[in-house]
Chains A and B, each alone.
Chain A
Amino acid sequence: MTALLDVEHLKVSFRTEEGVVHAVDDVSFSLQAGELLGIVGESGSGKSVTAMTLLGLTRGPNASFSGRVMLGELDLVTATERQLERVRGVRVAMIFQDPMTALNPVQRVGEQIVEQIRAHERVKRHVAMDRCIDLLDRVGIPRARERAGGYPHEFSGGMRQRVMIAMALSCSPEILIADEPTTALDVTTQAQILTEIETLRKDMGVGVLLITHDLGVIAEVADRVIVMYAGRIVEQGSLSDIFYDPRHPYTWGLLGSVPRLDKARPDRLPTIPGSPPSLLHPPSGCHFAPRCAWHFEACSTVPELKNDGPENPEHLGRCWLELEVARRRRLVGGTIGLPVPSAAVAASDGADR
C-alpha cells in the first residue's frame, strides 16, 4: 500500500526576537488511506506546528522549513501558494481545536461551507447549498436546511465542531487533519465527534491525522501513535506498542499520569517532574534527559529514532536506554532489568513497570 502522505525529515523553525525556535525537528512519518494516526504530546511539543505545516499554514517571513511533505507527487513544503490553495480543503482538510473561534462569527454557517465548495468546484450556489445541507444532515445536525442559515453563535460547541467536520468533508478530501478536535468539548460530545471521525475513516477511506494531548482519545480510535516531545518524535508504533510496550521514559511518564480505574487511586496522580525545555535553547542531546529519571552519560548526544529488533520493525524509539539495556544483557548474558533511576524523585510512575 502506498502512503497518502509521506513526511520526510521535516524541520520547522521560527525566527523570533529572542532567537530561533526549532519547533519541529526531524519529523518523519507516513499516513495510509483509511488509517488513523494519532500524534500525542504536551503543549509546545510541535504537534500542531507539524499539522499546520502540512498545509503550508505556518509559512511566514520568519519561518524556515526543510525536509519534504509528499502528497502524491507534490511536495507541500516547496509548493507554491497557488498549488497549496488547490490542496487545502480539497485533498487535505483540517479541523481545529476550538470550534468557538474557528468559524467566522459574521457569516452564516451554510455560507461558510458553500464558500469552500465554490472555491474548488464550478457549481451553482444552490447546488453547493444543497450539498452543504446534505453534509450538515450527515454529521448529525438536526433541521439542517434551517440551521444552515444560522450564525455560529447560535450553535453549541459540539454543533459547531460538527459544522467544521461537514466543512472539512465538503470536497471529499483524501486526508483529514484534526488538531485537538475534542479538546474544547465536554466528554459526551467528545465521544460523538470521535464516532463521527471514525465513521468517515471507515466509510470513505479518509486517512486521519489526529492530534491530541489526550491519551484516552488516542486509545479509543488510533491505529498507530506518534509521541512527540520538544519538537521531536520520541516514540512511534502501533496502538498496542505504545500502550502495552512503551519504550521511551517520556511515554512511561505520559501513561503513568493517566488515572486508572483498575488500581487504588493515589493521593496525587504521578506527574513528570519539571517542564518541557524552551525550544529556543533546547538541551543538546536528548531533549527529555533533564526530566528523565534514567538519564546517563549517553544522553548528552541525540539518540536516533530506531527500532530495537527485527521482531517489530514498526515500533521506533528515540532513547539510549534500550541500547544500554541490550548491551548489558549481552554482557551479562541473561536477564537484566532497567538501570536504577539516577533521580529517585520521578521513580514512582515508571519504576513499577
Chain B
Amino acid sequence: MARFLARRLASSVLVLFTVSVLTFLIFEVIPNGNPALRIAGRTATAANIAAVEKAYGFNKPIYIQYLRTMEQIFTGKIVSYAQNLNVLSQLKADLPVTASLVLGAAVLWTLFGIIFGLVAGLNAGGRIDTAITVLNFVGISAPSFVIGYVLIYFLSFKFHVFPSSGYVGLSDPLGWADHLVMPWFSLAILYTGIYAQVLRSRVVDTLNEDFVRTARAKGLSRRRVLLHHVLRTSISPIVSLCGLDVAAVLGGSAIIIEVVFNLPGVGNYAAQSIGALDVPPVLVITMFGAFAVVIFSTIADVIYALLDPRIRVASSL
C-alpha cells in the first residue's frame, strides 16, 4: 500500500511537470501571446513595452521564464498579469464554490447513475430499459447550458422556485443548497447518463456470469443476488469514472455550468483568464486540475482494489 502510494506520488510529479511545460509552451506559440503588449497598455510605445519585458523577464530565454514562474507558483507569490492579484488566493476563494458544486452533483450522478443503470440492466431489452436508454442519451447529448437555461427559465423565472444565479457560502446551509440545486442537476444529468449506460452494460454481462447462477442456486433472495453479487461486481468502472470526473470538474471543467449560473468558481476563473490570455492563472489552474486527477484517480484505485481483491495482487496494493 505504502509503495503504491509512493509510486503514485512520484508519477504525479512527472504529470505536473509535463502539464506545466505544455501549458507554458502553448501560450508562447499562440499569436498575440506576448503579455508585455497587454501589460504595457494600448498606447504604449516600443520603449514602454521593452521596459515591461525587462521588468517581467519576458526577454529572458524561455526555460528561465519557466523556472521563474514555477518558483513563483511554489512559493505562493504568483500574480496574474491582467489584474495583478495573487493567483493562489484567488483560487483558494473560488475552490469552495466549485467543490460545493462538484460534491453535490457527484452524489446525484452516482446515485441516479447506479439506479438507472441497474434498473435498465435488469430489464435489458424491455420497455423500461428502452425508456432509460433514451433518457440517458438525451442527458449525454443535451449541452449542459441548454439544460441549465431550461431549468432557469422554468424554475426561476416562471415559478420562482430556486434563485437563478449566484453563490451563498456554507455559513447559510439552506441558502447554499437553494442556490446549488439547479447547478447540481444540470451538471449531474450528463454524468448520470454516462454512468447509467456503463453500469447497464456491465450488469447485462454480469447477469450471465456463472457465479450469479450459483448465487441463485444457493437459494439467496433475488434482492441479495442483485445487490451482493450483481451490483457489487459491476460497480468498479463507476468508481474509476467517478474519481476522474470529480477531479476534472474540480480542475475547472464545469466552466459552462459555472458561467450559466454565475457561480464564482474555478471554471469561471479559468474562463476569464483564458479570455484575457493571462498565463499565470491558467497555468496554476491547469496544474491544479492535473494534480486533482492524480489524487482522485489514486483514491479511486484504492477503492477499486477494496472492491476487487484480484486487483490487489496485480498492483501489489
- Contact surface of A with B, Cβ cutoff 8 Å: 52, 55, 57, 81, 84-90, 93-94, 96, 98, 101-107, 115-116, 119-120, 151, 153, 164, 167, 171
Contact check, A116 vs B220: say whether CB atoms are below 8 A apart. yes
**Among listed B98-106, B252-260, B307-315, interface-contacting one:** B307-315
Contact check, A105 vs B219: say whether CB atoms are below 8 A apart. no
Nearest neighbor of A84 in chain B, beta-carbon distance: B219
B299 close to A (CB within 8 Å): no
A328 → chain B, closest Cβ, in Å? 49
**Among listed B4-12, B24-32, B108-116, B222-230, interface-contacting one:** B222-230
Contact check, A104 vs B219: say whether CB atoms are below 8 A apart. no
Contact check, B214 vs A103: say whether CB atoms are below 8 A apart. yes
Binding site secondary structure of chain B: helix
A89 and B213 in contact (CB under 8 A), knowing A115-B228, A151-B310? no
Choice from B209, B217, B221, B307 contacting A94 with Cβ under 8 Å: B217
Contact check, A88 vs B309: say whether CB atoms are below 8 A apart. no
Contact check, B213 vs A115: say whether CB atoms are below 8 A apart. no
Contact check, A167 vs B218: say whether CB atoms are below 8 A apart. yes
A106: chain B residues within 8 A (beta carbon) = 232-233, 307-310
A217 → chain B, closest Cβ, in Å? 20
B214: chain A residues within 8 A (beta carbon) = 96, 102-104, 164, 167
Contact check, A115 vs B210: say whether CB atoms are below 8 A apart. no
A116: chain B residues within 8 A (beta carbon) = 218-220
Contact check, A98 vs B210: say whether CB atoms are below 8 A apart. yes
Contact check, A90 vs B219: say whether CB atoms are below 8 A apart. yes
Contact check, A105 vs B210: say whether CB atoms are below 8 A apart. no
A89 to B221, CA, bound (A): 12
B211: chain A residues within 8 A (beta carbon) = 101-105
- Contacts A104-B211, A104-B214, A119-B219 supplied; 12 other A-B pairs, CB < 8 Å: A84-B219, A89-B217, A89-B220, A93-B217, A94-B217, A96-B210, A105-B309, A106-B308, A115-B218, A115-B220, A115-B224, A119-B218
Choice from B216, B232, B233, B308 contacting A57 with Cβ under 8 Å: B216
Contact check, A85 vs B209: say whether CB atoms are below 8 A apart. no
B229 → chain A, closest Cβ, in Å? 6
A119 and B221 in contact (CB under 8 A), knowing A101-B209, A102-B211, A105-B211? yes
Choice from B213, B219, B232 contacting A87 with Cβ under 8 Å: B219
A119: chain B residues within 8 A (beta carbon) = 218-221, 224
Choice from B210, B216, B220, B309 contacting A101 with Cβ under 8 Å: B210
A208 → chain B, closest Cβ, in Å? 15
Nearest neighbor of B312 in chain A, beta-carbon distance: A151
Residues B198-251 near A (CB distance < 8 A): 209-211, 213-222, 224, 228-229, 232-233
Contact check, A105 vs B310: say whether CB atoms are below 8 A apart. yes
Residues B15-65 near A (CB distance < 8 A): none
A116 to B215, CA, bound (A): 8
* A-B residue pairs in contact (CB < 8 Å), sample of 14: A88-B218, A88-B219, A96-B214, A96-B217, A101-B211, A103-B211, A104-B229, A105-B211, A105-B233, A107-B229, A107-B232, A115-B220, A116-B218, A153-B309
A169 → chain B, closest Cβ, in Å? 12
A99 → chain B, closest Cβ, in Å? 9
A104 to B218, CA, bound (A): 12
A17 → chain B, closest Cβ, in Å? 11
Contact check, B210 vs A102: say whether CB atoms are below 8 A apart. yes
A151 to B220, CA, bound (A): 20
A107: chain B residues within 8 A (beta carbon) = 228-229, 232
A177 → chain B, closest Cβ, in Å? 9
A101 to B308, CA, bound (A): 15
A88 and B210 in contact (CB under 8 A), knowing A151-B309, A151-B310? no
A101 to B233, CA, bound (A): 13
Residues B277-317 near A (CB distance < 8 A): 307-310, 313
B67 → chain A, closest Cβ, in Å? 48
Contact check, B221 vs A85: say whether CB atoms are below 8 A apart. yes
Contact check, B308 vs A104: say whether CB atoms are below 8 A apart. no
A274 to B217, CA, bound (A): 35
Nearest neighbor of A152 in chain B, beta-carbon distance: B211
